[in-house]
Amino acid sequence: MGIFSHTSCSCTGKSIVLKNIIPEDQLDEVLKRRAEEYRKQRNRTNTNLDVLLMAPSNSPLQYPIHGFTVEPLTKSLIPGLAVHTGTKELYKVFLSVSYGNLLVHGATETDLVVGQGQNALNISTTRVDRLNQLLSQVSYTSTIYRINTRDLANFTFEDHAVMFPIIIKRSSMPVLYDPGTDINTQVTVATKTFLRYKELNVLIESIRKYYKDIKIIVADDSLNPERVIGSNIEHYIMPPAQGWFAGRNLAVSQVTTKYFLWVDDDFQFTSETKIESFVEIMEAVPELDIVGGAVNNDQFYFKLVYENGDMEEGGCLSRVFNTIHQALPSYPHCSLVDGVVNFFLARTDSVRRVGFDPVLKRVAHSEFFMDGLGELLVASCGNIKIGHQAHVNHNTYSEYRTQKKTDERRKLAHHFFKNHLKCVEY
């Protein structure tokens, strides 16, 4: 038994060592605050499920090795407890837990049971069949209210000792989206705009050419908002220049369909923009959270390589372009990746769980997939495409859009603290 420990990770020569971004006179205090917040985060999110348990060989003990889940503070029989052994004068077993009480139901005065209703239980009998009958009636009741954690039970007979997990988990209700009868009730098109109303109107016109009834949501943080005209369009005005991810959060918060299609405001639907193809894949592979396509013929995708690192220094992250985990079975044009282009279909509930960090205002995209690492299953499909409008220079837009050196340093310092990173390689 043991918990996997993490050692320091290695930064490559191309990596940015993030502590070097922090002003020297602030570094010690930032490191202290980061270490404390990391400790609190681990305590808050640790479900105690990462303990390594080794099954002993030639053990006479039978016990549940996986899948025994109980509601908190609720009595549950422990399934499968038994001893398989030869004839003996006396059979004695010992059971103990840390966060609950144990009780043998149906024990009589002739049965020697010590510790009823406590966290440690001794059972002694002269017959193995009676012992197994009593073991089949042992219940566990957690004494702590947690919605997702685990206890470890110790089970001992003579020199044989095993440990097995008891998952303490509050049942949750499903949250379902009625898909309705067609694409218009399954998908909402969402975008964020800033100053580019000409491009936005071209996008809307192209959407209506192929999907005349689908809902469109526009989050708008322009300096002087203009009206966006059209049917079934929800136009949300934000305070000026709140930024890219704040707008994404707003747009996604208003989606009421199972899926949303994210597009940039200067994209353009074409005959190859088949939302139905995205939906078909998502419905066929329900584990998927996001499926990206290609903009023109550019199938932008990447893989993230992350090492936890140690508790003090933090982890190491690198982004590797045009690299996949593996092909998506049954879909020859699709691969499993970690990040895709700004043209993707997503499960609404999955993206809401991760969210978009509103601290990132000017240049942000990969950062969403960084936050979703290990939470979102992502695929990229090169055969589903959208067009990109010709670039038009907007001086004011460019002024806000272009990331300054100070913005880049601020973003890296943010990753240093927020993601507990030692170094990053983009």
Q: Which helix (H) or strand (E) holds 349?
A: helix 348-354
152/121 Cα distance (integer angstroms): 14
What does the DSSP assignment read for 172-203?
---------SSHHHHEEEEEEESS-HHHHHHH
Residue 224 burial (10 A CB sphere; 0-12, 13-18, 19+): exposed
Q: In what order do the strands lie in the sheet with 76-77?
A: 76-77, 138-142, 100-104
Map out the domains of the chain with their CATH numbers.
53-169 (2.60.40), 183-424 (3.90.550.60)
- Main-chain phi, psi angles of 249, to 5 degrees: -60, -45
Question: What confidence score (pLDDT) does residue 358 get?
Answer: 93
Which residues, given as ranges, of the chain have pLDDT below 70?
1-5, 47-50, 400-403
This prediction's pTM: 0.91
Question: What confidence score (pLDDT) does residue 58 get?
Answer: 87
Question: What confidence score (pLDDT) does residue 48 get?
Answer: 64
Question: What confidence score (pLDDT) does residue 1 get?
Answer: 38
Question: What confidence score (pLDDT) does residue 401 get?
Answer: 66
Tokens 């609720």 belong to 74
81/155 Cα distance (integer angstroms): 9
Question: What confidence score (pLDDT) does residue 407 get?
Answer: 83
Contacts of 323 (CB under 8 A, 6+ apart): 302, 303, 337
Question: What confidence score (pLDDT) does residue 2 get?
Answer: 41
Number of neighbouring beta carbons within 10 Å of residue 18:
23
- Model confidence over 193-202: pLDDT tens digits? 999 999 999 9
Residue 344, classed as helix, strand or coil, is strand
Nearest to 394 by CA among 192, 250, 193, 190: 193
Nearest to 257 by CA among 274, 275, 235: 275
CA–centroid distance for 224 within its chain: 37
Please report, as a single letter, which amino acid is at residue 202: V
Strands (E), 182-310: 187-193, 215-220, 233-237, 259-262, 267-268, 290-295, 301-310
CA–centroid distance for 187 within its chain: 22
Question: What confidence score (pLDDT) does residue 49 get?
Answer: 63
Measured distance between the N- and C-terminal CA atoms of the chain, rounded to whole angstroms: 37
CA–centroid distance for 266 within its chain: 30
Residue 232 · residue 188 · CB < 8 Å: no
Residue 187 · residue 260 · CB < 8 Å: yes
